[in-house]
Every structure is written in structure tokens, then in C-alpha cells.
Amino acid sequence: MTEPTQNSDNKKLVYRLVGIIGGMFLFAFALVPLYNVFCDITGINGKTRGQALYQDVEIDKKRQVTIEFLTNVNRGMPWDFGSKVKSMVVYPGELNEVRFFAKNRSKNDIVGQTVPSVSPGEAALYLNKTECFCFDQQVLAAGEEVEMPMKFYIDADIPEDVTRLTLSYQLFNVTDSVKTESAATK
Amino acid sequence: MSDHHPTGFTRWLYTTNHKDIGSMYLWFSFVMFLIGGAMAMVIRAELYQPGLQFVEPNFFNQMTTMHGLIMVFGAVMPSMVGLANWLIPMQVGAPDMALPRMNNWSFWILPFAFTLLLSSLFMDGGAPNFGWTFYAPLSTTYGPPSTDFFILGVHMMGISSIMGAINVIVTVFNMRAPGMTLMKMPLFVWTWLITAFLLIMVMPVLAGTVTMMLTDRHFGTAFFDAAGGGDPVMFQHIFWFFGHPEVYIMILPAFGVVSEIIPAFSRKKLFGYSSMVYATASIALLSFIVWAHHMFAVGMPLAGELFFMIATMLIAVPTGVKVFNWVATMWQGSLTFETPMLFSIAFVILFTIGGFSGVMLAMAPVDFQYHDTYFVVAHFHYVLFPGAIFGTTAAVYYWLPKWTGKMYNETSGKIHFWLSMIFVNLTFFPMHFSGLAGMPRRIPDYNMMFADFNMWASIGAFGLGLTQIYFLITLVIAIRSGKKAEDKQWEGATGLEWDALPSPAPYHTFSTPPKVD
């Protein structure tokens, strides 16, 4: 009979299939960075990029873009959070500053993290922030109040049809996860 | 070889025989079908009229979630694996599955997986209540404590179906009888081979998804938590990368079943055998690039909407090839309408209706209206109940004589068919209308304007549920006291299991490979 060759054939095929399975399991995790890289390149998820530099930026005085600011406080976050102005009309390329404020209404120290999002998504690539509180976490003591500046410019290459964009900030309470992290590093 | 036949409970616990394991899979899936069906009855009872009558909203959500999970992972998938176990070795002329011990293991994981999942119903905080799609952050930040049991259960059933898929692939590649070339294989074997590849490609991705959920919940990662730099929308992308191929995993074996049954009762060869194979393979390949059509309303850019819309509509082409081939097989055949044939014809008609509503949902602009409404519920129940479940039912009637050596009562079978046919449409057809009018899914109460549609759907659902009890009785009577079946029960049947084996098929078959010309 051909039993032994049958067995080794089966083994070979099983190893290959297990290889595919292991590969696909890892692929699921690889999707996470792939997703972020893809969104970063195309800007389709409304995610803004990290800190930008304001150097040799050309200002387009021929048109103006309206930018609106939206703030949301997540459930379980006892802070007031908002912007001093609700919208601005700016020239593409010009450096602007908006002031945001945050106040910790609770009796505890709380760490906050804001997450920005731009709509329409394709405009995210053209919104450059040179200074933003969203780059770091904010620690506010009980009752503490701060003003936070945000400086940005809109790239002059922004498509003609985008005349209005919304920058939204969602504020999260990350006190617990910061605690566990520092506990882990100790 | 002697027909050695162990007895008692240990026969089932230790068995490595593909027929025993196939039977256990099928009975297990039937039990799950009844449990999941009972949950559907709770849902339909609550929705019988507007207002809250029987259950709390949170328990209602647990029912929709568990109904979906049990039916997808407990009823449909194991029933298909059961059919594969019984039929593939007999159809390719192999003595057993290639890896019989692993086969035993892959079955015996399932009762434990579903005990874990079902036990969550009795825990503090209740069972998972976030829908079978378990979107983050509902399942991560806001999931009940029992979510961890759900995660472990999904891991176990995933391992089980991966092992089942490995077994199918190795059996088909290495155990075919001499002369059984790939393009001579019965179509059921082909569709299962392709399904097995889909399984090993996407079940690991599901395992990865629930692993990320687990670490998000307990180990401080933030895959899906926006506050930590993660992204809940990414959960949907990863989930549907698994989820869309998953829906073809549930339907492709049923395609294979009706491709066997329709030629048998048309007394003609299957029309366009090779185009059926290629169409199945194309559907499987396309299933990997269409996942985001489940998330049109998530705020995708126009280019994304267009791509996923067009790719999705492309699937209608190979599916259409299959439907036309089934119709062409019947064309000018000498048809008879025994129960398996009735279920198969109903499969073709009703699956096509489900396919059409699928094409409607594929259109991104109108999907904004249909998204998360009962129209979606109508669509996927039309492809799953008259699709996957009618397919399995047809297979059970068709091969029962071969498996047990007993014939079912034809009148009982026909009564089962006609009741199922009437009630399945009464249940799910009105959902198209309530969905188009805007009734949302997964909500225990609804606007008065949907009252009539929901009453009809509920009456249909109760009838459909009772009809399946009738199916169980018909089966039990057939197995206990059915008339003796002939070796080739169906005049037009083809394939090794009918031509080369007696009925019932002996415990050990094809110890020496058959000759295939």
C-alpha cells in the first residue's frame, strides 16, 4: 500500500495550511498599522497629521475658507471644554490661532486626551497644525481651568470645491489608563 | 475489513469515523437551530405588537445577539461541516477523512464552545447584547462582563471550523480515488473545497479581532479606543473583512447541494459544470474585496463608496451564472417533484429574491436609506433561511436514504416543504416593506405604522418554528420506522455514493478505492 507516502503528503499539506492560518492571524494584526498608514497617506479618515512647521508658506489671498470648530465631551468626563470662537474665515496659507478652554469641574485630578477629526475627510490632508493641545494629554487638578492655544494653517493646495470644513475635537477621560500604564512602568 | 462497530457513549466520544462525526455535527446543528429558533420566537413575540410586552429592552438585545451568533456559528456552519463529513469521503472514493483524530477533536470542541456562550445568559449583567457583529466600543468599553465568555467561545468555534476546513482540503487533495480528477468531482465537493479555503483565510482574522477586543478590555491596549489613538471604525473594517467571506462560507456548500439535487430530479446532467466551478471560485475571490459595503454609512470618501459598490455588484455576475445554470438544467428535463427537489427549486427562487435585495443594498446612495433597517434583515434572512437552511434540508431529505437506509414519508416531507415555503415568505417578505418605510433593526418597540407588517411576520415566524418541529418528527419517524431504502433511491442520482455503495452506506466504505472512469 501507499500508506507512508499518503501520510507524509498529508503532513506536508497540513503544515502549509497551518502556515496560511498563522499568516492570516498575523495579517489581522498587520491590518492595524496598514489601516493607519493608508489613512495617513490618503487622509480619508479625517485624521489630522502630527505637528507641522510654518515655513515658506505661500498665502492665497484670492479665496477664503470657513473653518468651524466643534467640541464634544465624552461620557464620564466631568470637564467643560470648548473654543472661544465657533468659526473663522481664513485665507489658505495664513497662520491662525484659536483659543480653547477646559475646566475640570470634579473634585479629582483628571487626565484628558482630545482626538481631532476633520470633515470632509479629504480636507484633513490640508489642515496643518503647528501647535495643538491634542498632541499631548492634559492634566487638570480639581477645579483647575486652562486656556489652550491651537495654531494652524490651511494648505493653499486645498481643492477649490472645499470652501468650508469642520474640525471636531472629542475629549476623552484617560485617567485610568494613564494610571495603569504608570503602574506598569513602576 | 470487518465491519467493527463500537457501541455506547464512548463510540461517539472516541469515534474517528467520518459518518459518526457527520451525524454528530448534523444533530448538534439541529439542536442549535432549535435553540436559536426559540430566541427568534422571543424576538417575534415581543414585536407582535408595538410597545413593550414580554421582555426588557436589554434582554431583547441579548436575544438578537445570541440568535445571530447561535444560528451563524452553531446551526448553519456545523450543519455544512456535517454534510461535508458524511459526503466528501463517499463522493471522492476515500475510506475516511484524511485526519480522523483531528476530525473528532474539531467536533467535540463545539459543545464546549456553545456551553460557554449560552452560559452567559445566566450571568450577572446578562449575555452579550451588542449584536452578532459585536461592534466596538459596544463590545469593548460597554460590553457586559460575559463578553469574555463570548470571546473565548468564538475562539473555540473558530479553531473547530479551521480544523474542519483543513480536513476537507487535505481529503480532497490527497484522498481522491484513482481517476477522480478535480474536474470530475461532484459540485458539492468543489463548493466545499472553495469554502474550506475561505475558512482558513478568514477565521484567523476573526480570531485576531476578538483577541484585540480581549486585550482592549483587559490589558490596556487601544486598538479600537479613540482616546488611546485607536479607531472604532477600524473594528468594522477588520470584522467585515472576515464577515463578508463568512456569508459565502454559509451559502457556497448549499450551492453545491442544489447542484447535485436539481440534475438528479431533472434526469439531466448539470448544465455548465465547469462554469459552475469557475463561478464559485470567482464569488469566493470577489468576497475579499467587497467588505466595506456593510459600512457605506460610516462616512467613507466617494472613491471608496464607488469601489465597494461596483465590486459588490460584480458578484451578481457569477451568481447569475449559477442561477441560470440551475434553470437551464431543469429546462426540458423530465422533472419530478420529490421533497429534496421542491426545497431545491424554492432555494433557487427565494435565494434569487435575496440576491436582488442584495443588489439593491449594494447601491451606496440608496443604502443610506436601507442601512440598519428591516430591509437588511429581510435580505439576509432570504439568503440564509431559504438559502443555507433550505439547502441543508434538501440535502437531508436527499441523502437520508443513503445515510440511514430508511425512506422518509414523502407526504410528510411535502407538508414540511409547503408549510416552510408559506411561512418563510410570510415571515420575511413583510420585513422588506417595514424596512423600506424605515423601521430600524434590533429595537424592541416600534412606530404604530409598522404594526401590521410585524404582526404578519410574527405569525409567519411562529408557524415557521412549529414547522421545524414537524421536520424533526418526520426525521425521527423515518429513522426509526421508515421503509427500507433502495441502494439507488433516486432514479436520476449520480455519483459514487449512489452507484458504488449500498443503502445504508456501511460503517467502513471504500477501504479499497473504487475505479472511476
Cβ atoms B237, B290 nearer than 8 A: no
Cβ atoms B153, B114 nearer than 8 A: yes
Cβ atoms B153, B117 nearer than 8 A: yes
Other CB atoms within 10 A of residue A99 CB = 11
Q: Is the pLDDT of residue B395 over 60?
A: yes
Q: Which residues contact B18 (CB under 8 A, 6 or more apart)?
A: B85, B86, B88, B89, B96, B97, B100, B103
A17: closest chain B residue by CA: B166
- How close does chain B come to A164, measured CA to CA in Å? 16
Residues of chain B in contact with residue A21, where contact means CB-CB under 8 angstroms, are: 162, 166, 200, 203-204
State which amino acid sits at residue A145. Answer: E
Per-residue pLDDT tens digits for B237-290: 999 999 999 999 999 999 999 999 999 999 999 999 999 999 999 999 999 999
pLDDT for the residue numbered A1: 45
- Rg over CA atoms, chain A: 24
**Domain spanning A46-175: which CATH class is it, in words?**
mainly beta
B298: closest chain A residue by CA: A45
Cell triple for A122: 479629504
B402 is catalytic: no
- Find residue A118's DSSP bridge partners: A167
pLDDT for the residue numbered A184: 53
pTM score of the predicted model: 0.91
Average pLDDT over every residue of A135-164? 88
A111 in contact with B, Cβ within 8 Å: no
Q: Are strands A110-119 and A164-173 parallel, antiparallel or unpaired?
A: antiparallel
Using a pLDDT cut of 90, give the percent of chain B over it. 92
Report how far residue B480's alpha carbon sits from residue B478's, in angstroms, rounded to the nearest whole number.
6
- How close does chain B come to A118, measured CA to CA in Å? 11
Q: Is the pLDDT of residue B452 over 60?
A: yes
Residues of chain A in contact with residue B234, where contact means CB-CB under 8 angstroms, are: 31-32, 35
Cβ atoms B187, B276 nearer than 8 A: yes
A23: closest chain B residue by CA: B204
Compute the count of residue pairs across chains A and B with CB atoms less than 8 Å apart: 94
User: Which of B208, B228, B300 lies nearest to residue A28, judging by beta carbons?
Assistant: B208
B67 is catalytic: yes
Per-residue pLDDT tens digits for B98-109: 999 999 999 999
The verdict on a CB contact (< 8 Å) between A44 and B300 is yes
Report how far residue B362's alpha carbon sits from residue B440's, in angstroms, rounded to the nearest whole number.
18
Q: Are strands A96-104 and A79-83 parallel, antiparallel or unpaired?
A: antiparallel
Mutate to test the interface with A, among B162, B197, B239, B242 (most CBs of A within 10 A): B162
- How close does chain A come to B50, measured CA to CA in Å? 31
pLDDT for the residue numbered A48: 72
The verdict on a CB contact (< 8 Å) between B208 and A184 is no
B441 is catalytic: yes
The verdict on a CB contact (< 8 Å) between B207 and A28 is yes
Cβ atoms B495, B184 nearer than 8 A: no
User: Which of B166, B205, B238 lies nearest to residue A17, judging by beta carbons?
Assistant: B166
B97: closest chain A residue by CA: A10
A27: closest chain B residue by CA: B205
pLDDT for the residue numbered A180: 64
User: Which of A23, A32, A173 lies nearest to residue B223, judging by beta carbons?
Assistant: A32
B204 in contact with A, Cβ within 8 Å: yes
Cell triple for B225: 479606543
- What residue spans of B219-338 are helical by DSSP H? 232-266, 273-286, 302-314, 316-330
Average pLDDT over every residue of B157-183? 95
A174 in contact with B, Cβ within 8 Å: yes
| H or E stretch at B465 | helix B451-481
Q: What is the DSSP letter of B74?
A: I
Average pLDDT over every residue of B373-396? 97
Among the listed residues B33, B121, B124, the one whose alpha carbon sits nearest the alpha carbon of residue B75? B33
B294 is catalytic: yes
Q: Are strands A87-90 and A65-73 parallel, antiparallel or unpaired?
A: antiparallel
Lowest mean pLDDT among A28-42, A77-91, A93-107, B277-291: A28-42
B273 is catalytic: no
Q: Is the pLDDT of residue A143 over 70?
A: yes
- How close does chain B come to A28, measured CA to CA in Å? 5
User: Which of A25, A32, A173 lies nearest to residue B207, judging by beta carbons?
Assistant: A25
Mutate to test the interface with A, among B106, B141, B200 (most CBs of A within 10 A): B200
Cβ atoms B191, B253 nearer than 8 A: yes
Among the listed residues B157, B190, B171, B138, the one whose alpha carbon sits nearest the alpha carbon of residue B75? B157
Q: Is the pLDDT of residue A137 over 50?
A: yes
pLDDT for the residue numbered B230: 85
pLDDT for the residue numbered B448: 94
A43: closest chain B residue by CA: B301
The verdict on a CB contact (< 8 Å) between A13 and B170 is yes
Report how far residue B90's alpha carbon sits from residue B510's, in angstroms, rounded to the nearest whole number.
8
Q: Are strands A65-73 and A164-173 parallel, antiparallel or unpaired?
A: parallel
pLDDT for the residue numbered B484: 95
Task: Sort A97 into a burial class: Cβ within 10 Å, 0-12 / 13-18 / 19+.
Answer: exposed
Omega within 30 of 0 (cis) for the link into B340: no
- How close does chain B come to A12, measured CA to CA in Å? 10
A55 in contact with B, Cβ within 8 Å: no
Q: Which of B294, B379, B402, B406 is catalytic?
A: B294
Angle at A76 between CA A71 and CA A78, to 5 degrees: 65
Lowest mean pLDDT among A46-60, B69-83, B351-365: A46-60
Q: Is the pLDDT of residue B130 over 70?
A: yes
- Find residue A36's DSSP bridge partners: none
Other CB atoms within 10 A of residue A23 CB = 13
B287 is catalytic: no
Per-residue pLDDT tens digits for B288-316: 999 999 999 988 888 889 999 999 999 99
To the nearest 10°, report the CA torsion of B497, B502, B506, B510.
-50
Other CB atoms within 10 A of residue A100 CB = 22
- Find residue B407's DSSP bridge partners: B483
pLDDT for the residue numbered B434: 96
Among the listed residues A147, A131, A134, the one whose alpha carbon sits nearest the alpha carbon of residue A174? A134
A45 in contact with B, Cβ within 8 Å: yes
Report how far residue B46's alpha carbon sits from residue A140's, in angstroms, rounded to the nearest whole number.
48
Cβ atoms B415, B473 nearer than 8 A: no
Q: Which residue has the higher pLDDT, A119 or B151?
A: B151
pLDDT for the residue numbered B300: 83
Using a pLDDT cut of 70, give the percent of chain B over it. 99
For B8-44, give the secondary structure using H, E and C.
HHHHHHHCCCHHHHHHHHHHHHHHHHHHHHHHHHHHH
Average pLDDT over chain B, rounded to an integer: 95
Cβ atoms B418, B463 nearer than 8 A: no
Lowest mean pLDDT among A96-100, B375-379, B390-394, B432-436: A96-100
Q: Is the pLDDT of residue B198 over 90?
A: yes
Q: Is the pLDDT of residue B60 over 50?
A: yes
For CA atoms B45, B48, B54, B55, give the dihedral sign.
positive
A37 in contact with B, Cβ within 8 Å: no
If pLDDT is split at 50, 70 and 90, which confidence band does B1 have? Answer: very low
Q: Which residues contact A148 (CB under 8 A, 6 or more apart)?
A: A99, A100, A101, A102, A133, A138
Report how far residue B134's alpha carbon sits from residue B143's, in angstroms, rounded to the nearest whole number.
9
Q: Is the pLDDT of residue B190 over 80?
A: yes
pLDDT for the residue numbered A38: 83
